[in-house]
Chain A
Amino acid sequence: QSVLTQPPSASGTPGQRVTISCSGTSSNVGSNPVNWYQQLPGAAPKLLIYIYNQRPSGVPDRFSGSKSDTSASLAISGLQSDDEADYFCAAWDDSLNGYVFGTGTKVTVL
């Protein structure tokens, strides 16, 4: 069901930088902006990064996004315990005429 590929897990100690990759194809990541969603344990997803690297109000600048060809990345700098969550990338897919999500990455703060 998931069209975009992410690593299942990522981890770091407090203060470290963690990067999550998101691999897609020319019909989704390659041609449409990527958004990132954060899902804290037991909660609904929340918009974290949109249109590659824009942050909604209230999201700290420790979170940043980037994109290259058919891949995108989310970086979390200055890792904090509150950052423990699942992170999903997403984009519109022109071939499927629908929105596709990544497989999700669980971030653990050691």
Chain B
Amino acid sequence: EVHLLESGGGLEQPGGSLRLSCAASGFTFSSYSMNWVRQAPGRGLQWISYISKSGDTTYYADSLQGRFIVSRDNAKNSLFLQMNRLSDEDTAVYYCARDLLLPTGRLFDYWGQGTLVTVSS
């Protein structure tokens, strides 16, 4: 069974940094691209970043302005999100989601339960 478990969330001050992790199990992690998606309290979903199977290709939402870095360790079945220069606008639940690319299109087929990041002084 596919399982994604995020961790690393918590309370951080504005201007600070946090590193989120996503532990994957139940599938061959190195065979799938991965994504991070966030959801601010009471708001909709926002795609944050994508990383390819090998980690050599990454994409980010323009609004992040280069503050976040996605990476992965296939040997440890883990996905990471380094978040820098945090602001209160980054307060959200952060989800990791598995990327499934079919001949007909791309979708996120499995999601973790999310980890809450709160940015506040």
* A binding-site residues for B, Cβ under 8 Å: 1-2, 32-33, 35, 37, 43-47, 50-51, 56, 88, 90, 92, 96-104
Contact call A1/B106, Cβ cutoff below 8 A: no
Q: Say yes or no for B27: interface residue by CB 8 A criterion.
A: no
Contact present for A103 and B47 (CB under 8 Å): no
- B95 vs chain A, min Cβ distance (A): 6
How many pairs of residues, A versus B, come closer than 8 Å at their CB atoms?
Answer: 75
**What interface size band does chain B fall in?**
20 to 34
Contact B47–A101 (Cβ < 8 Å) = yes
Query: Is the beta-carbon distance between A35 and B95 smaller than 8 angstroms?
Result: no
Decide if A99 touches B95 in the complex (CB within 8 Å).
no
Closest to A103 in B: B44
B50 at interface, CB cutoff 8 A: yes
Measured CB to CB, the closest approach of chain A to B25, in angstroms, equals 16
List, sorted by A's number, 16 A–B pairs whose CB atoms are closer than 8 Å: A2-B44, A35-B108, A37-B45, A37-B108, A46-B111, A47-B108, A50-B105, A51-B104, A51-B105, A51-B107, A90-B47, A90-B108, A96-B62, A99-B47, A101-B37, A104-B44
A99-B105 contact in complex given A46-B111, A88-B44, A104-B44, C-beta closer than 8 Å: no
B75 at the interface (CB under 8 A from A): no
Contact of B111 among A44, A50, A56, A103 (CB under 8 A): A44
CA–CA, A104 to B45, complex, Å?
Answer: 8
Selected contact of A98 from candidates B61, B110, B114, CB within 8 Å: B61
Other-chain residue from B45, B60, B62, B105 in contact with A88 (beta carbon distance below 8 A): B45
Distance from A59 Cβ to chain B, minimum over Cβ atoms (Å): 12
Cβ distance B47 to chain A, nearest Cβ, rounded Å: 4
Q: Is the CB of B47 within 8 A of A44?
A: no
Q: Is the CB of B107 within 8 A of A35?
A: yes
Which listed residue (B46, B111, B112) contacts A101, Cβ 8 A?
B46
B residues within 8 A CB of A37? 45, 108
